[in-house]
Amino acid sequence: MDSYIFKGDCYIHSLKQGESNVLAEATILEKVGDNQYLAEFNGVKCTAIFNPFVCRYYVDDKYGVIEKRTHERGGREER
């Protein structure tokens, strides 16, 4: 069973050309707040929002990158 909300074409921030948005396949992993999502694009976890007017997710792989942190004692990763 796959554990994601959506997998398909999303607007990707780093691919934007001037004022034109560019679509590419990304995965929306989970909802983390009001219109705030955790996404993955090219192996990078980042933030995303959903625009209901165009029915598309906007993935911010430029400024919304989520880096993994490790606990000092346990060595477990957390987001």
Contact, 8 vs 23, CB < 8 A? no
> Within 10 Å of residue 12's Cβ, how many Cβ atoms?
24
Token digits for 16?
């934007």
Q: Confidence band (pLDDT; 50, 70, 90) for 66?
A: very high
Token digits for 49?
């929002």
Mean pLDDT across the chain, nearest whole number? 89
Task: Determine the pLDDT at residue 1.
Answer: 47
pLDDT(73) > 60:
no
Q: Compute CA distances 33 → 57, 72, 77, whole Å.
A: 14, 28, 21
pLDDT(79) > 90:
no
3-state DSSP helix/strand/coil % of the chain, to nearest 5: 5, 60, 35
Q: Spell out the domain ranges in the chain.
A: 6-67
Side-chain half-sphere of 77: how many Cα atoms within 13 Å?
A: 4
Which of 1-10, 34-43, 63-72 is least confident?
63-72
Which of 7-16, 35-44, 65-74 is least confident?
65-74
